[in-house]
A and B are shown apart, each in its own frame.
Chain A
Amino acid sequence: MRSSLRSRLFSALLLATGAVWLTAALWIDLGARAEVEQVLDNRLQDAAHMVGSLISSGRLPTDGLNRNPAALLPDAGPYMHQLSCQIWSFDDRLLARSGGAPETRFANGGTGFSEQEINGEMWRVYALEDPANGFRVLVGDRLSLREGLVTDLIKGLLWPAVVILPALGAILWVSVGRGLAPLRRIAGDLSRRDGEDMSQIEAASVPREIRPLTTALNGLFAKVEAARRHEREITAFAAHELRTPLAGLKTQAQIALMSEDRDVRGNALRQILRSVDRTGRLVSQLLALARLDSAPPARKEDVEIGAALDEAVEFSRMAGPDVAVEIGSDLRGVIARVPREALDLVLRNLTENAFAHTPPGGTIRWRRGAAETTIELWDEGPGVPETDLPFLTRRFFRGAALSTPGSGLGLTIAEAAAAQCGASLTLANGPRGGLIASVVFEDESSLEVAT
């Protein structure tokens, strides 16, 4: 079944209203039945007593058949005709009966109420005995009459329901529809939007009930918009960063084509190779950064820091072939609970950065920091001007020194990857020059010595 809010509301309201009506009808039916029974029983009784007292006072002769004793009774509306009266002697002679009364004796036995089937109809009878005068008065009415009375009463109640319920249904249907109109309007607005439109839904015109939805939607729009702006910036920056190496490639290629000189051509081709390497690296770094930006952190696993560092150094070796590496023995056996790939990105990019800035013959040192949860990398490079320190992890920031041909992305990647490891990256100048890169794990349990 399609879940339509309007149908559900409508049917719920209609069912509830119907149920109320039906309960009322049933209730009234029961109550009215008892009431009617009571009243009519009283009437039977009264009639019998009246006839009885008339006979005993001698004002009503009992010697003629077909006399109508009921005619002597006080007027009781349309039910009067339905009252039947028989007067029997104690020796079982029918002394008199009313017009509509059957000839069959209504009831036997003494004074009181009874029910009897006569000619296929159920009768309720009240018997009154007068042993002193030797007659018996039987007054009865048909049970079907009583049913009819109650049915009339219920019908009187149900007719308005039959007429009003459809009207009520129509009103409910329309007003539920009206109530849901803002929802339809918002849906219409949203469906007319193109993919670019991330503007907020106007909250003022929205009913309170729908506001949580619009608020959530607006929040989502804001997030999507921010993500897309971020993406656009990255794309623009990436395109921009790729243009310069492309210009270099094109220029060198044109030189190789133009020049007749072997040396010039050889040099141009070598420059092209260098540029292709560097551009390829830039592209893979951009991809790594894009992945870090978009993907949620991978599953954490236990990584042995010492082994991971060995791999990182091996991987980055080309960046500093003449630089020595020391990996502190206190890092051996230290286990980090981190996403493996993210940790590799941190270690590789920091190592590469240290290699690139350390002059040949120098040493880079990985070691455990003063704090339990910190690992540090010390290089022997020139360090960084204090004013540049805050900007080192910014995308494509290379500093004014221009000492190395880095992409300006390594430290950005290291920082983003560290964040996925639940760690932060801090950079500071060492006491004797060089840069110290510290990876500080925020969670103490994410870095522990294996036992």
Chain B
Amino acid sequence: MRILVVEDDAILLDGLRVGLELAGLTIDAVSTCADAAVALSTSAFDAVVLDRMLPDGSGLDVLRRVRRSGDRTPIILLTALNETANRIEGLDAGGDDYLGKPFDLEELAARLRSIARRGAGRASATMEWRDLVVDPAARLVLLRGDRVDVSRREFAILTALMERPGTIRSRADLEERLYGWDGEVESNAVEVHIHHLRAKLGRRTIETVRGLGYRIGGER
């Protein structure tokens, strides 16, 4: 899952980036309202962590602008303003969830997974397609009930494809999900990961759509 983190405190931002990546998420980080607006208008994220007090304005303004533009990306507000009135204001401005500082890293990761899957139209914590089950919280892949070991990157690609079975994901899309903006992308990285996944899950699980990308669960 690709997450945008908007936070102006350098140490906390570093912690969020490293910590959420440890939880299996791909993180892009910005620290101002302006950068957040640019990031949201140019890339697709599964969820956003948005600090309320930013140096160049309020996170709530970013939130309202995003919602006005019709963007439905799930957004969790992260804030030191932790009064009930502040939480209500944040949720009413279009926030999907609200977490007061200081927070628990694992709780934040769980809430991100939760709002991300709801954003993708799923209620279940696990993603299933035929006899394949992916559990993002436990970072677990089960094939016919047996556990399959996959790497972090392979898991990210598998998750992206499993989110909406039948939908085609382009190579660029998958690369962005894997690395965010910062990661160094090797030219054939996605192909290599797809290759490994096919070896582990069966050749026909992931289908190549020539010229467009990859998908799981295409019409046969």
Q: In the bound complex, do residue A251 and residue B105 qualify as a contact, i.e. CB atoms below 8 Å apart?
A: yes
Interface string of A217-258 (1 = CB under 8 A from B): 000000000000000000000011101111111111011001
Contact present for B105 and A244 (CB under 8 Å): no
User: Chain B's nearest CB lies how many Å from the CB of A287?
Assistant: 19
- The verdict on A249 contacting B102 (CB below 8 Å), with A255-B22, A400-B55 known, is yes
Q: Which of B15-47 contact A (CB under 8 A)?
A: 15-16, 18-19, 22, 31-32
- Of all chain B residues, which has the CB nearest A259? B22
Instruction: For the complex formed, measure the closest distance between the CB of B87 and the CB atoms of chain A, giving whole angstroms.
Output: 14
Asked if A402 and B14 sit within 8 Å, CB to CB, the answer is no
Which residues of B are found within 8 Å of A239, using beta-carbon distances?
A: 80
A398 to B103, CA, bound (A): 24
Residue contact A254 to B19, C-beta cutoff 8 Å: yes
Q: Is A244's CB under 8 angstroms from B10's CB?
A: no
Q: Bound state CA distance, A240 and B102, in angstroms?
A: 10
Q: Which of B11, B14, B53, B55 has the most CB of A within 10 A?
A: B11
User: How many of A's residues come within 8 Å of B, CB to CB?
Assistant: 30
Does residue A399 face the partner (Cβ distance < 8 Å to B)?
yes
Cβ of A274 within 8 Å of any chain B Cβ, yes or no, is: yes
Residue B9 interfacial (CB < 8 Å): yes
Contact among A251, A254, A264, A405 for B10, CB-based, below 8 A = A405
In the complex, A399→B22 CA distance in Å?
32
Give Cα A9–Cα B31 distance, bound, in whole angstroms. 73
Say how far A291's CB is from chain B's closest CB, in angstroms.
24
Residues of B within 8 A of A275 (CB): 11
Residues 90-111 of chain B: 1 if any A CB is under 8 Å from the residue's CB, otherwise 0?
0000000000111111100000
Say whether B12 faces chain A, with CB atoms less than 8 Å apart: yes
- Set of chain A residues within 8 Å of B102, measured between Cβ atoms: 243, 246-247, 249-251
Whether a CB of chain A sits under 8 angstroms from the CB of B127 is no
**Chain B residue at smallest Cβ distance from A258:** B22
Q: Does B82 contact A (CB under 8 A)?
A: yes
**Chain A residues, CB < 8 A from B8:** 402
Contact of A402 with B105 at beta-carbon distance under 8 Å, contacts A251-B19, A252-B15, A268-B18 already known:
no
Residues of B with C-beta under 8 A to A405: 10
- Closest approach, in angstroms, between the C-beta of B126 and any C-beta of chain A? 22
Task: Kindly report which residue of chain A lies nearest to residue B100, judged by CB atoms.
Answer: A243
Residues of A within 8 A of B55 (CB): 398-402
Tell me whether A267 and B18 are in contact in the complex, defined as CB-CB below 8 angstroms, given that A248-B9, A250-B104, A400-B56 are known contacts. Answer: yes
Question: Would you give the shortest CB distance from B86 to chain A, in whole angstroms?
Answer: 10
Number of interface residues, chain B, beta carbon within 8 A: 27
> Which chain B residue shows the least CB distance to A244?
B9
- Closest approach, in angstroms, between the C-beta of A347 and any C-beta of chain B? 27
B101 to A247, Cβ gap below 8 A?
yes
Q: In angstroms, how far is the closest chain B Cβ from the Cβ of A311? A: 30
CB-CB < 8 A to A245: which residues of B? 9, 11-12
B125 contacts the other chain (CB 8 A): no
- A244-B12, A399-B55 given as contacts; is B103 within 8 A of A255 (CB)? no
Distance between B104 CB and nearest chain A CB, rounded to angstroms? 7
Output the nearest chain A residue to B7 by Cβ-Cβ distance.
A244
Given A250-B102, A254-B106, A400-B56, does the pair A268, B80 have CB atoms closer than 8 Å?
Answer: no
Interface assignment of A271: CB less than 8 Å from any CB of chain B = yes
Given contacts A254-B104, A398-B55, A402-B55, contact A244 B80 (CB under 8 A): yes
Query: Which residues of chain A come closer than 8 Å to B32, judged between CB atoms?
Result: 400, 402
Point out the residues of chain A lying under 8 angstroms from B142, CB to CB. none
A385 CB, min distance to chain B CBs, angstroms: 11
Q: How far is the CA of A264 from the CA of B15 in the complex (A)?
A: 10
Q: Complex: how many Å from CA A400 to CA B54?
A: 8
* A240-B81, A402-B55 known; A248 vs B31 contact (CB < 8 Å): no
CB neighbours (8 Å) of A399 from chain B are 55
Greatest chain A CB density within 10 A among B9, B16, B18 is at B18
Nearest-Cβ distance from residue A5 to partner chain B, whole angstroms = 48
Residues of the A chain whose Cβ atoms lie less than 8 Å from the Cβ of B10: 405
A258 to B18, CA, bound (A): 11
CB distance from B77 to the nearest CB of A (A): 13
Q: How far is the CB of B30 from chain A (nearest CB, A)?
A: 11
A126-145 CB contacts (< 8 Å) to partner B: none
CB distance from B111 to the nearest CB of A (A): 14
Residues of B contacting A252 in the complex (Cβ-Cβ under 8 angstroms): 11, 14-15, 19
Verify B31–A264 contact, CB threshold 8 A. Answer: no
Shortest beta-carbon distance, B89 to chain A, in Å?
15
Q: What residues on B are CB-neighbors of A240 within 8 Å? A: 53, 80-81
**How far apart are the CA atoms of A402 and B32 in the complex, in Å?**
9
Which chain A residues lie closer than 8 Å to B106 at the CB level? 254
**A241-B80, A250-B103, A259-B18 given; 10 more Cβ-contact pairs under 8 Å:** A243-B100, A244-B101, A246-B101, A247-B101, A248-B15, A251-B105, A252-B19, A254-B106, A259-B22, A271-B14
Q: Which residues of B contact A (CB under 8 A)?
A: 8-12, 14-16, 18-19, 22, 31-32, 53, 55-56, 78, 80-82, 100-106
Interchain residue pairs A-B with the least CB separation, the first 5 = A251-B15, A248-B12, A243-B80, A247-B101, A400-B56
Complex A-B: 26 CB contacts under 8 Å: A239-B80, A243-B80, A243-B100, A243-B102, A244-B9, A244-B12, A245-B12, A247-B78, A248-B14, A249-B102, A250-B104, A252-B19, A254-B104, A255-B15, A258-B22, A258-B105, A259-B22, A267-B18, A268-B15, A274-B11, A398-B55, A399-B55, A400-B32, A402-B31, A402-B32, A402-B55
A residues contacting B by CB (< 8 A) are: 239-241, 243-252, 254-255, 258-259, 264, 267-268, 271, 274-275, 278, 398-402, 405
